[in-house]
Each structure stands twice: as structure tokens, then as C-alpha cells.
Amino acid sequence: MSTPFYVSPQQAMADRAEYARKGIARGRSLVVLQYADGIVFVGENPSRALHKFSEIYDRIGFAAAGKYNEYENLRIGGVRYADLRGYTYDRDDVTARGLANVYAQTLGTIFSSVGEKPYEVELVVAEVGETPEGDQIYRLPHDGSIVDEHGSVAVGGNAEQISGYLDQRHRDGMTLAEALKLAVQSLSRDTNGSEREIPAERLEVAVLDRTRPQKRKFRRIGGRQLARLLEGGGAETASEADADAETESGGDVE
């Protein structure tokens, strides 16, 4: 009778973590930055239908890198949690911190379960406050831990290199155009340090805009808006941005 193959719990967890990290690194990077009037999400995404960024609730946005089907399931679960909590209690009771705790429990349970593979995803949950000091950004790796971030954060792809680039150049009080340019510059840097051009049509950009008069602070930026900002156009008001977005989409603004 042969001796059963034994793997220590520490080695099993290390193998699962390495598996998840490799899966996340195969995806394209994305960055989340604070700017004067809110929080901006920027990522390279050639698909117009499969989004990396989305709205969870009034002031809360969601970003994810990794396997689309896995983080889409998490996004839908987050929307259901937020809707139920806001309906049962109060809209102000739905917070990024509470949502991050729910995601942490889900990811942690899946990561430690021997019956299924770990999720190959890394999440960012952000909430825009009344002032920049009230902004919250939480990064959730594959194992369900929570990292409270400030200023900027990068996930997916060569996130470590991008984070170092952002840490050196990001500053408080940046305009949206300045933050967007910095984000694109960081994403355009390859692992060997060389730069490449990312066309505007391959970018997915969204913001949580604290100056927007509606309760829902999330909006997407594309088309003429995005081109104007990348070219160094001046700051635009939230109402002007919403009007541009509605004209381009021909309907409702998300």
C-alpha cells in the first residue's frame, strides 16, 4: 500500500495564492485615483460591453481585475446587498466599508475552501465623500484581506510597478484632466520601462463626482469628453459633463 501524498496546510495556501496571483496578473491593469472633485477609475479595455467599472450604489463605485465571470458575480452580489440594505434601513447605511466587509468574507471563504479553486480577482471598492477627506478606497485581494488605500491604487497586470509610478507623481488636489493623464501615463508603461500609446477608444473611464447634484455620483466618460480631457481641456462642470454624455449616448446617463 502506497503512502498518501501529504501537503502541509501552509504549502496548500501558498499554492492557491500563487495560482490566483498568476491569473490576476494575466489581465490588464487598472488604476483608481483621487482628484479634487472625486475619484476617477481608468483602465485599458477594448470591449465596449464588458465593463471593469460600475456603480454599486449612490456614492459607491466598483472596479475589478481578473476573470470577468468571477468579478461580475461579485458585482451583482454587491448591488443586491446595497439595494436590500438601503431599502431595509436607510440609504446612508450603505457604505463602502460595509460592502468591502461583505466582499472580504466571500473571497476569504472561497480562498480557504478546499472544494473549489480561489477566485482570480482583485477588487477596488470606492466611496466619494462630501470632501476629499471623506473619500474611501478599499482594495481586496484574492484572499479576502482588506487594504485601506489613499490617493491612488493599481490592480491587475503589472500593478506593483504602476503603483510605484503613481506614488511618486500623484498629489492631492489634482484636476480631473491631470489625474486622467497621470493614470494613462502609468498604464502605458510596460514592465521593461518603455512607454506605449493607448488610444482613447481603448480606455474605459468613470468617475465618482462629488459635485454632481444627483444622488448618484457615478458617471462614465467617453467620446468627446474623454478626448477633451486627454488633450488638456479645462475643468467642466458636472451638469455640462452629464449633458455631453447624454448627447453622445442618445439617452440616459449612467
Residues 15-51 pLDDT 10s: 899 999 999 988 889 999 999 999 999 999 988 889 9
Q: How many whole angstroms separate alpha carbon 75 and alpha carbon 68?
A: 10
Domain ranges of the chain: 25-249
What's the pTM value of the predicted model, to 2 decimals? 0.89
Residues 203-236 pLDDT 10s: 999 999 999 999 999 999 999 999 999 987 655 5
Question: Beta 136-140 vs 218-221: how paired, if at all?
Answer: unpaired
Q: What is the pLDDT along the chain (254 residues), one digit of tens a residue?
A: 565 667 788 888 898 999 999 999 888 899 999 999 999 999 999 888 899 999 999 999 999 999 999 999 999 999 999 999 999 999 999 999 999 999 999 999 999 987 789 999 999 999 999 999 999 999 999 999 999 999 999 999 889 999 999 999 999 999 999 999 999 999 998 666 668 889 899 999 999 999 999 999 999 999 999 999 998 765 555 555 555 555 444 444 44
Please count the other Cβ atoms lying within 10 Å of the Cβ belonging to residue 86.
Answer: 15
Residue 247's pLDDT is 45
Rounded (10°) angle between helices 96-112 and 68-88: 130
SS3 annotation, the chain: CCCCCCCCHHHHHHHHHHHHHHHHHCCCCEEEEEECCEEEEEEECCCCCCCCEEEEECCEEEEEEECHHHHHHHHHHHHHHHHHHHHHCCHHHCCHHHHHHHHHHHHHHHHHCCCCCCCCEEEEEEECCCCHHHCEEEEECCCCCCEEECCEEEECCCHHHHHHHHHHHCCCCCCHHHHHHHHHHHHCECCCCCECCCCHHHEEEEEEECCCCCCCCEEEECHHHHHHHHCCCCCCCHHHHHHHHHHHHCCCCC
Cβ-contact 219, 206 below 8 angstroms: yes
Cell of 80: 443586491
Residue 116's pLDDT is 85
Residue 11's pLDDT is 85
* Amino acid found at 76: I
Confirm or reject CATH 1.20.5.50 for domain 25-249, answering yes or no. Answer: no
